[in-house]
Amino acid sequence: MPENQRRRILSGMRPTGRLHLGNLVGALQNWIELQEQYECHYFVADWHMLTTHYAEVSELQSDIQEMVTDWLAAGLDPSKATFFIQSRLPEHAELHLLFSMIAPLGWLERVPSYKEQMDNLEGRDLNTYGFLGYPLLQAADILMYKADGVPVGEDQVPHVELTREIARRFNHLYRKVFPEPQALLTHAPRLPGTDGRKMSKSYGNAIFLSDPPAVVSKKVAGMMTDPARKRRWDKGNPDVCPVFDFHKIFSPPEVVERVNRECRTAEIGCVECKKLVTGQLNQFLAPIQNRRRQLEQNPEQVWQVLEEGTCKARQVAQATMQEARAAMNLTH
Ligand code: TRP
Ligand code: SF4
């Protein structure tokens, strides 16, 4: 890739509604950094949501609005990057269909998330055509924009690998249309939820970007700590404490150092330690929540950003589809 050309980045997020700190640290902060240097396309993966949550669509539009409000509040900037909604671009469905002709079933069945999610998301029937094809839809999302880099978490790396294989197969069968994208692994620091497990909306252990100070304070106060530290005078081990993971991300180095030292000697107690982190969190969230309030006053702004982004994305998508159709001799 020539140095002088801005590399193209593409990533998508399922519309899960209001975002939490885990989403921020795990993905959003990375997206925000990338928009400074690259040509970024970020989209709402609403069709992807349907591959697992096809039976729960009633909140879909409000979940999109809440999530994108958080995107913009957190610092994603429509003057730097393009934001769109997947389902507003039927081109993605068309490319998915064309890819479905050349994708061996075995490739899809072997994607690790396929069997894993089938087992994990119990209570849902995932024996559907759409769920099997989900990584192929992702390949269409990525190749549509001829992305060079795809920022994803570790669990999504096999999907980018599949995307590369589909690109290769298409280029080999017809002609070279698609470059092979790279996965850009997000090196996210560990941010557990309030109970020490992975932060997740469905676990009920999340702190949301939109949680007001009193809610943050209450959630942190109820956080799990070093289980061996039962009394104020017990010495603690911050390395096994989720509160310390928060300090490492949100507190300045001198506070991290102090907690690291004084927890081990029982000089600081968990109540004070948590107060410190609550202060840092609320300070960090204040500007985000200010921007959020402004966006909430005029939600049409958010939809307008998506509308404009969708128009821009459509130009790229239409051009790619022309090429793909022509390569498969679908044009006269
Ligand atoms: N599959 C991703 C997820 O569940 C979302 C996604 C859909 C995506 N299409 C994408 C991510 C393309 C990166 C690129 O989180
Ligand atoms: Fe965790 Fe802080 Fe308590 Fe140590 S003092 S166990 S780091 S909450």
Question: CATH number for the domain including 156?
Answer: 3.40.50.620
The answer on pLDDT for 3 being more than 60 is no
Examine the domain organization and report whether 128 and 269 are in the same domain: no
pLDDT band at 235 (very low <50, low <70, confident <90, very high): very high
The answer on pLDDT for 170 being more than 90 is yes
Cα 260 to ligand 2 centre (Å): 8
Cα 45 to ligand 1 centre (Å): 7
Q: Which of 67-71, 184-188, 309-313 has the lowest mean pLDDT?
A: 184-188
Quick one: pLDDT at residue 113? Answer: 84
- Residue 128's CB: how many other CB atoms inside 10 A? 14
- How far is 176 from 239, CA to CA, in rounded Å? 51
Examine the domain organization and report whether 47 and 172 are in the same domain: yes
Give, as one character, the DSSP assignment of residue 195: T
Q: Which of 118-127, 188-197, 210-219, 231-240 has the lowest mean pLDDT?
A: 118-127
How many domains is the chain built from?
A: 2
Quick one: pLDDT at residue 75? Answer: 98
Say if ligand 2 is within 6 A of residue 208 CB. no
Cα 12 to ligand 1 centre (Å): 4
Best of 41, 46, 47, 48 for a ligand 1 pocket test (most atoms within 8 Å of beta carbon): 48
Task: Judge contact between 313 and 307, C-beta under 8 A.
Answer: no
Quick one: pLDDT at residue 47? Answer: 98
pLDDT in tens, 47-74: 999 999 999 999 999 999 999 999 999 9
Which atom of ligand 1 approaches the CA of 135 most closely?
A: 1
Examine the domain organization and report whether 262 and 114 are in the same domain: no
Cα 235 to ligand 2 centre (Å): 9
| Partners of 250 in beta bridges | none
Domain interval for residue 163? 8-191+299-327
Say if ligand 2 is within 6 A of residue 178 CB. no
Examine the domain organization and report whether 280 and 315 are in the same domain: no
Examine the domain organization and report whether 106 and 229 are in the same domain: no
Residue 321 lies in a domain: yes
Examine the domain organization and report whether 320 and 248 are in the same domain: no
The answer on pLDDT for 313 being more than 60 is yes
Examine the domain organization and report whether 111 and 244 are in the same domain: no
Residue 269, domain CATH? 1.10.240.10
Say if ligand 2 is within 6 A of residue 268 CB. yes
- How far is 101 from 37, CA to CA, in rounded Å? 36
Quick one: pLDDT at residue 116? Answer: 83
pLDDT band at 243 (very low <50, low <70, confident <90, very high): very high
Cα 56 to ligand 2 centre (Å): 39
Which atom of ligand 2 approaches the CA of 229 most closely?
A: 6
Residue 203 lies in a domain: no
Residue 101 lies in a domain: yes
Q: What percent of the chain has pLDDT over 90?
A: 90
Q: Which ligand sits closest to the CA of 271?
A: 2
pLDDT in tens, 111-130: 988 888 887 777 788 899 99
Residue 150 lies in a domain: yes
Examine the domain organization and report whether 19 and 57 are in the same domain: yes
The answer on pLDDT for 135 being more than 50 is yes
Examine the domain organization and report whether 62 and 29 are in the same domain: yes
pLDDT in tens, 282-297: 999 999 999 999 999 9
Q: Which ligand sits closest to the CA of 238?
A: 2
Examine the domain organization and report whether 179 and 315 are in the same domain: yes
pTM over 0.85: yes
Nearest of 93, 168, 172, 175 to residue 136 by alpha carbon: 93
Residue 175 lies in a domain: yes
Best of 41, 87, 138 for a ligand 1 pocket test (most atoms within 8 Å of beta carbon): 138
- How far is 323 from 237, CA to CA, in rounded Å? 59
pLDDT band at 187 (very low <50, low <70, confident <90, very high): confident
Q: What is the residue-averaged pLDDT of the chain?
A: 95
The answer on pLDDT for 1 being more than 50 is no
| Average pLDDT for 306-329 | 98
Quick one: pLDDT at residue 119? Answer: 79
- How far is 133 from 122, CA to CA, in rounded Å? 19
Say if ligand 2 is within 6 A of residue 276 CB. no
Q: Which ligand sits closest to the CA of 41?
A: 1
Q: Which ligand sits closest to the CA of 241?
A: 2
Examine the domain organization and report whether 57 and 119 are in the same domain: yes
Which atom of ligand 2 approaches the CA of 270 most closely?
A: 3
- How far is 312 from 67, CA to CA, in rounded Å? 20
Residue 204 lies in a domain: no
Cβ-proximal residues to 10 (8 Å cutoff; 6+ apart), any chain: 40, 41, 42, 43, 141, 142, 145, 147, 149, 150, 181
Examine the domain organization and report whether 112 and 239 are in the same domain: no
Residue 250 lies in a domain: yes
| Average pLDDT for 148-159 | 93
Residue 25 lies in a domain: yes
What lines the ligand 1 site, CB under 6 Å? 10-12, 14, 45, 48, 138, 141-142, 150, 152, 156
